[in-house]
Amino acid sequence: MPKVRVTVSIPLRVITHGARLSLAKEMPKVRVTVSIPLRVITHGARLSLAKEMPKVRVTVSIPLRVITRARLSLAKEMPKVRVTVSIPLRVITHGARLSLAKEMPKVRVTVSIPLRVITHGARLSLAKEMPKVRVTVSIPLRVITHGARLSLAKEMPKVRVTVSIPLRVITHGARLSLAKEMPKVRVTVSIPLRVITHGARLSLAKEMPKVRVTVSIPLRVITHGARLSLAKEMPKVRVTVSIPLRVITHGARLSLAKEMPKVRVTLIAPGLIETDMSADFLKAAPVKLPAIKPEEVAYSVDHVINTPYFVNVTNLTIQPTGEQF
């Protein structure tokens, strides 16, 4: 049988034991060990179990620190090469859960990943496929403020964290939010006037501390607001405005001063006058009341008109001598 090959299967422990006995006398300090490739061990285990338990699969669990000892293998050939291990985070957390499941079954394993790590990873991932894509992070404001509170709670427990959001940001966000669902809705902001003036005072306090901030509100705005406010609660109430006549004339004078500086405004306030309108009142009075005649009022008006153009008689009160009211 010239094609038959004869091989001998010697248990590995016999070989290593023989080597130990052979070297024991000559080199008693030498230790004999055997380095068996892991694939040989697992392959042998598969063959051994293939007949008895064909459904059993043989796998090998190698501690990660053993794998990373590849540094020793590369240390001589490539001493500048560093061996690192990239382990998916889900593997680490899954392992931690399994490890703690028996000892502390009520413990939950969660992972806190810095946001900059997530965004940096996304940038690297997209850099090749979509180099023009920019990765940004949208963090809800409540998350930021909540984090700031927790961070300061121990160091400065008396510090309160608040957020100042520009009003234009809020209204712009509301417009974008409603643009699709209710495109016909317009978003406006109603800011109390005291808020606006208070903000103006704070803004000018440092730069111009001597400037005073006041508000001029048209009277029609005030009365219109009062009508709307009372319309529901007291619908039968009418809102009217009682303005002193001297206020009206003074306002007219200031309003015309720039546009028509040569126009003069005068307030003439006569007392009791003897006319058809006051005849019944004068007769019914228990005592005789002093009154002036219309001609005397006309004389005073003529006097005001004929004063020089650079003189403006602003208020003229005409009363009969001896009037008690």
Q: How far is CA 195 from the centre of its chain?
A: 20
Phi, psi dihedral angles at 318 (to 5 degrees): -115, 120
**How does residue 43 score in pLDDT terms, banded at 50, 70 and 90?**
confident
- pLDDT, averaged across the chain: 83
Q: What is the pLDDT of residue 298?
A: 93
Confidence check: pLDDT of 295 > 90: yes
Phi, psi dihedral angles at 317 (to 5 degrees): -105, 125
Phi, psi dihedral angles at 315 (to 5 degrees): -135, 135
Q: What does the block give as tokens for 258?
A: 């720039």
Residue 239 DSSP label: P
At 85-140, the pLDDT tens digits run 777 778 888 888 888 888 888 888 888 888 888 888 888 888 888 888 888 888 88
| Residues whose CB is less than 8 angstroms from the CB of residue 34 and which lie 6 or more positions away in sequence, other chains included | 12, 15, 16
Residues 34-38: contacts with CB under 8 Å, at least 24 apart? 36/12, 38/62
At 241-251, the pLDDT tens digits run 666 777 888 88
At 297-324, the pLDDT tens digits run 999 999 999 999 889 998 888 888 877 7
Q: What are the helix (H) ranges across the chain?
A: 12-26, 38-52, 64-68, 70-77, 89-103, 115-129, 141-155, 167-181, 193-207, 219-233, 245-259, 279-284, 294-305
- Provide the sign of the torsion angle of the four alpha carbons 175, 177, 180, 182, taken in this order: negative
d(CA 28, CA 306): 143
Q: pTM of the entire structure?
A: 0.32
At 254-279, the pLDDT tens digits run 888 888 888 898 888 888 888 888 88
| Residues whose CB is less than 8 angstroms from the CB of residue 267 and which lie 6 or more positions away in sequence, other chains included | 245, 246, 249, 314, 315, 316
DSSP 265-301: --EEEE--B-STTTHHHHHHSSSPPP-B-HHHHHHHH
Q: What does the block give as tokens for 121?
A: 């990873």
